[in-house]
Structure 1
Amino acid sequence: MTAEIDRKIAVILVADVVGYSKHMERDENATLKAYAECEKLLKTCLKKYKGSIFNTAGDSALAEFPSAVNAVECGVAFQNEIKKRNESDKTEVKLEFRIGINMGDVVKKEGNLFGDGVNIAARLEALAQPNGISISKSVYDLVVPKTKMTFNDLGVQKVKQNEFHAFDILLDPSQKRTLKTKSSSMLPIIGAVAAALVLVVGVFYFNKTEELTAKKRVISSKPLVFVTSIDSSRLSDDDKKYVEGITGNVISSLSKSKSIRLVPTKTAKNFEEKKVSSDELFERHGVKFLVSSSLQIVDSDARINIEISDLEKKQIIISSIKELKLKSIFSFQDQFGESILSEFLVNVLNQKGLYESYFSWREMPISTQQLIQYVNFRSEMGKFTEQGFVNASTILSEMKKWPGPSTPEDWLVQDTWLNFYGMMKKKIPINQDNLTKLKRELDKTIEIKPSPENYASRALLSFYTQMINCEEAFEDLNLAHKKAGNADSYGYASIVYGRCGNSKKAAENARNAFDLLPVDTNWRATTRLAFRLYEDNQIEEMYSLLEGVVDAIDIPVSIQALLAYDKLKNGDEQAAKYYFSKAKANRYSKNVLAQAIYSKDIRKDAIATLESFKY
């Protein structure tokens, strides 16, 4: 016998933080603190206007009200409180909210509300402006005679399968706007949010412990890692003291790597309490890697079983056992955290291979801290900015203090790259003496180790400093890839071939570099490949490559500008406006494309086209 469905008419208010993920990327602790302050303001307003939250998770909230007037007055009061908070000089992180309010038919099940009434409230929230409130006609008709608020008629809007008549509440005259009715023009902006909200119909988030929400999966070049609580079931009551707070210690250790993101401790606990499945962790929360571990202790010996799963591929990629000695509790927990960090750096992010490629001369074993230091050195070098040069110089000075025997020649590769970096950033004069020194250093690196990356480095650096021409550079690249190269050598080759006008070889080598990187931090390899594909007129493949990247929170401004240019060339001004507005918000300047596009004709046209684009 079918259970009776519990239906009713309800007024639903949906609120969402604008750009929450970016705030978290900048300063997680400060954002969580700010979020807690805003949560307190919301709860105060809800209490005053008799609203109630019926489910929470993440940076959004969904609440039910007894009347439309109460819901609207609560929304206005909350936005006014947020405005006051943001205007204060004492406010460190200024959060903005969007609010949507609808009245409609809902289904009540297990304390949650579902149905079109909730769906349309979510669509209205996505339609709202930052610091704004959008309401449906059903709400508008009820509140107009009973309030003195000013409204702006947006007409009939269609988002996905939902079509509704919408109104803005004008908290400020500057919020007045005109939207096309039944238009898909807003879809590039709100489509991802709207589609994701369908997944959590009836779920309203306002939980400061959630960095990632079920309404939308955050995309980033840095994979999200979820560290589960350690399995201590085999430990005696006395030995369990070693695992108290150890999960937080592991998270702290992993946070030393700039190549990954971590699910915050409280969120992780929330996931475990709700027994969130692996599929849901990946599909709804964007978790890429799951780290689980167990501990056995016998006398003063400890055995750690570490298992790392790739939730996207649905397979265990690491299963290892490590033996540790029990000393003090804190010492043991530090060792435990370092062990898991080492597994990540060496076997997941594959950074040991790069390390050993450049430091095969080292007699002493690689330590986790040294590996992190080297990865950070490469990260600063990759920025190719003046500050990056300064930071890389400082890190290299510290690296040269590593324990164990070494000679100046052992650090020749790093010194050579730093000297080149300094010349390009005008920190070191580009004169004949320095160029001769650079050439001598490049030749010496190959004499010491004729590896793919050293041949490719000589080709790239010599070509960039105009010591050799394209054909001479190609000779070194042929030697570099006589057998097989690595991510560095193929990446350098793509630059040389691109600068020399061989777009097909440039794209081929960029693809090889991309395929060899397990994690593409900051989308560097992706960006390089996208531009090389575009220059080789492989447009369809470029869009296929960027399909999962364009909505990333750390998408490079150069990609946004490239897409804006391509859309303009193909007559799609609406999409061009979307991408270019994002590029401008990320501090776009013509130098971005000047550096990224190697083809002179395309570069000139792209810069001119975007400079004249009136959006």
Structure 2
Amino acid sequence: MIILHLNFYERITISTINRKLAVIFATDVVGYSKHMEKNEDESVKTLRACENILKDLFKKYEGRLFNSGGDSFFAEFPSAVSSVECASEFQERLNEFYSQNDLPIKLQFRIGIHMGDVIKEKRNLLGDGVNIAARLEALAQPAGVTISKSIFDLVNGKVDLSFNDLGLQKVKENEFHAYDILLSKSQKRTLRASSKPMLRNLAILASVSTIVIIGIIFYFQSDTIPVSKTQMMPIDKPSILVMPFENQTGNSDNDFIGFGVTSNIISTLSINDSIMVSSSSTGKYVQERNYTDKEISRNYGVQYLLRGDVQGTEGAFRVTLQMTDLKSSEVVWSKLFDFGELKQLFPVQEKISLAILEQLSVKTRGSQLSDVNYFTNPEAYRNYLNAWSAFGLKTVDGSQKAEKLWKKAIELDPSNRRLNFMMAWVNWRKVTMRISDNPKRDMEKAYNIALNAIDEFTEWTTPKALAGLIELFLKKYDEACGRIPTLLQASKDHSDLGMANLVIHSCGRLEEAIENYEKIMLSNPHHQAWIFYMYNHALIENTQYDKAENFALTKLNEKHNWSGVDQTLYLQLAYLYELKGSKKKAKKMFELHKAIDGKGKTGEIIHKEFITARDKTYLNELISALKPYGLTEK
């Protein structure tokens, strides 16, 4: 990672503002956090190589790098032509570099270029000119370049490049006319143009009530599908923006402390599959623009905002943290961390990052994570939390990642007996996802581990719940359903209740299961995504068809961290519309379910997702009803 020690805390006075017109080049790595998660060392090596290529081209085309956020770069150019030529050559050079080197990680860059008014602050540039370049970069395709009309007008006819007119586009609060540079024929695309501001405002003023009425009819009666996932929508995992920590020590030499803490927090959160964290450059940008909490919530769609500062002097430093829920405007968590000498900074950074990771994990699991009391090794606890997040994805890769992380945690903290229980989940998942080479053996392993954990930790709910699910799988229905009173009595939080409710639902107690699902979703909207389709299964089984339809349509206008949720919701809608006799809608929903991965679900997969159901009648009826639309058994 490239660390640039900049002081972001000095304020600009009105008398020193220096404006100018500039050509701004903005670029960023596509999916860098995912690459870091996959292979940190190789990602950093590749980034360094790409940075060297970029800086060589900046020198060739007289570009000046004025800001860098590790995987993002901002440069100023003397002309529009030189910036465009630099961008196109950079993408060409990257292709050559990758074709000549067999690398495990190949990074792609997006580039945006704009000419506009900027504020000069020392060697840095701020303002709308930089903003719009960043928005164009976000609009660009991977390995692509997108430019504004102000650049297009200056370079058209002067460079040997082709362009694709994207029309008027709106990203965040910025509206601009954009063009793609066509570096290959495959980059030709069509984006929906933004409506003209005057017409849009007149329409709003003239027909607010009409829109509301039409919207209701449109939502419940039309053939229209849920909105595109490229729009800003609610997400099923907590999202957070980490602001740069302020240096309040009175000594600018201590700027690096806040910078280091901020970077460590973002790096820690970025590798967790159940948390969405904004980039460090976003936090810097928001701070420079002095956005209010409401503006941050509106512009970036994040739920949580983390602020912090560094106080004190050598020998008595203090880091303060404060997490705000932007929806309620309430401070939901705060903590102090004290340390003396600077050599203690790194372990303190780890404690801070782990504390925040723990708090956000509470939002996804619905548990107060009292498990921390059983850990003696912080790294083991970090692996434990990240394993739960990977496990919650319900994918083969996620399950295998969780197994590795849990095994690593056991190695690091062998005295933590509760960690051994995680292997029960590993074996359960192998069987239910049909990736076990010996299902009978692995399920027996899972069952024995769960029973041993019940004996050793008598007040722990999770092993009891898993034992109940395994008993349902093994068709030991009376034993499983007989556990329900104990499970409900032992449930201490919504994570426990969620596990218990799977047994309740599987045993056919639908009214009770629906009530519990609704309690969990109301108090914990970022619960792991399986709860959404299981709740909807319960509604359909209980013949609450209209409620199930409305719920599925609502949830399909949200982003989920597992695509299987959307697939199941579309499948449920197809079944509901078939029951209602609306075959056209049913066919559309079935096709949308299939389009997500190009294959769609099979009867076998549908049974696997609800493998613990005692009564299979509903699942069999759903499968039978959708066979005419192309649903297969296997």
Change beyond 3 A, Cα 1:606–1:491: farther
Matches within 5 A, 1:113-512: 129-132=141-144, 149=161, 157=167, 159=169, 170-175=182-187, 188=228, 191-192=231-232, 221=237, 223-224=239-240, 226=242, 229=245, 233=249, 247=261, 251=265, 258=272, 284=299, 286=302, 288-292=304-308, 304=318, 306-312=320-326, 313-320=328-335, 330=343, 332-333=344-345, 336-337=348-349, 339-341=351-353, 343-344=355-356, 349-350=361-362, 356=370, 368=378, 371-372=381-382, 374-375=384-385, 378=388, 387=400, 391=404, 394-395=407-408, 397-398=410-411, 401-402=414-415, 420=428, 426=436, 430=440, 438=447, 442=451, 445=454, 449=458, 452-453=461-462, 455-468=464-477, 473-482=480-489, 486-499=493-506, 505-512=512-519
Change (3 A) 1:177 1:338: closer
For 2:488, give the aligned amino acid. H
Identity %: 23
C-alpha distance in 1, partners of 2:586/2:443? 49
Counterpart check, 1:540 vs 2:550:
yes
Code of the aligned partner of 1:316: V
Give runs of aligned pairs for residues 74-93 of structure 1, distance below 5 A. Answer: 74-91=86-103, 93=105
TM-superposed deviation, 1:402: 1.4
The Cα of 1:460 is off from its aligned counterpart by 1.7
Q: Deviations over 1:415-460 (max 9, x none)?
A: 76566557656466627x9869948964982796366545533322
Shift of 1:462: 0.9
Q: How does 1:522-537 map to 2 (within 5 A)?
A: 523=529, 525=531, 537=545
Q: Which residue matches 2:581?
A: none
Over residues 222-267 of structure 1, what are the superposed CA-to-partner deviations in whole Å (9 max), with x where a residue is unaligned?
64463754766399x9xx8996986379649956984657677788
Query: In the alignment, is the contact (CA less than 8 A) between 1:533 and 1:539 conserved in 2?
Result: no
Greater displacement, 80-89 / 265-274? 265-274
| Distance across 2 between alignment mates of 1:268 and 1:142 | 32
Distance 2:136 2:266 in 1: 39
Conservation of the 8 A alpha-carbon contact between 1:292 and 1:306: yes
Q: Decide whether the 8 Å contact of 2:268 with 2:353 is kept in 1.
A: yes
TM-score by length of 2: 0.61
CA distance in 2, matches of 1:53, 1:249: 21
**Residue pairs, 1:21-60, within 5 angstroms:** 22-23=34-35, 26=38, 31=43, 34=46, 37-38=49-50, 41=53, 59=72
Letter in 2 for 1:188: S
Q: Distance in 1 between matches of 2:333 and 2:305?
A: 11
Q: Secondary structure, in 3 states, of the residue corresponding to 1:387?
A: helix
Cα displacement (A) at 1:556:
1.0
Deviations 1:486-507 (A, max 9, x none): 3343323443455456665544
1:17 & 1:253 partners in 2: Cα distance?
Answer: 15
* Structure 1 unmatched runs, 5+: 1-5, 193-216
**Matched letter for residue 400 of structure 2:** Q
Q: What amino acid is aligned across from residue 306 of structure 2 in structure 1?
A: L
1:82-109 alpha-carbon deviations (Å, 9 max, x no partner): 3323323255543335567789xx6677
Query: Could you state the TM-score of these two structures normalised by the residue count of structure 1?
Result: 0.62
**Paired residues of 2:380 and 2:409 also in contact (CA < 8 A):** no
**Cα separation, 2, equivalents of 1:371 and 1:474:** 33
Distance 1:434 1:467 in 2: 13
SS where residue 476 of structure 2 aligns?
coil
Q: Deviations over 1:296-328 (max 9, x none)?
A: 6898xx68564332252433333445677x6x7
Q: Using the TM superposition, give the Cα deviation of residue 12 of structure 1 relative to its aligned residue in structure 2, in angstroms.
A: 8.1
Determine if contact 2:469/2:503 at 8 Å carries over to the other structure.
yes
Number of residue pairs matched by the alignment: 549
Asked if the contact 2:552–2:573 (Cα under 8 Å) also holds between the matched residues in 1, the reply is no
For the residues of structure 2 that align with 1:246 and 1:453, how far apart are their CA atoms?
A: 37
For the 8 Å contact 2:29–2:107, the answer to whether it is kept is yes
Distance 1:60 1:579, change over 3 A: farther
Aligned partners of 1:371, 1:167: CA distance in 2, in Å?
48
Deviation by residue 1:172-214 (Cα, 9 ceiling, x = unmatched): 44555678999999x937655xxxxxxxxxxxxxxxxxxxxxx
Match of 2:567 in 1: 561
CA contact (8 A) 1:460 1:493 kept: no
The DSSP-based 3-state class of the residue aligned with 1:188 is coil
Compared CA separation, residues 287 and 11, structure 1 to 2 (3 A): same
C-alpha change, 1:581 and 1:51, in structure 2 (3 Å) is farther
Cα distance in 2 for residues equivalent to 1:456 and 1:15: 49
The 5-angstrom pairing of residues 104-115 of structure 1 reads none
- Which amino acid in the other structure matches residue 414 of structure 2? K
Q: Distance in 2 between matches of 1:46 and 1:574?
A: 50
What is the distance in 2 between the residues matched to 1:102 and 1:573? 45
The 5-angstrom pairing of residues 573-592 of structure 1 reads 583=597
CA contact (8 A) 1:558 1:592 kept: no
Alpha-carbon offset, residue 370 of structure 1: 5.7
CA distance in 2, matches of 1:303, 1:11: 42
Distance 1:269 1:450 in 2: 46
SS state of the match for residue 228, structure 2? helix
Distance 1:178 1:610, change over 3 A: farther
User: Residues 355 and 374 of structure 1 are in contact (CA less than 8 Å); yes or no, is this contact kept in structure 2?
Assistant: no
Moved more, 284-293 or 173-182: 173-182
Q: Is the 8 A contact 1:232 1:294 kept in 2?
A: yes
The alpha-carbon deviation at position 463 of structure 1 amounts to 0.6
The DSSP-based 3-state class of the residue aligned with 1:456 is: helix
- Structure 1 pair 316/458, CA: closer, same or farther in 2 (3 Å)? same
Taking a change above 3 Å as real, the CA distance of residues 563 and 137 of structure 1, as seen in their structure-2 partners, is farther
Change beyond 3 A, Cα 1:608–1:458? farther
Give the counterpart letter for 1:489 in structure 2: D
Q: Greater shift after overlay, 252-261 or 537-546? A: 252-261
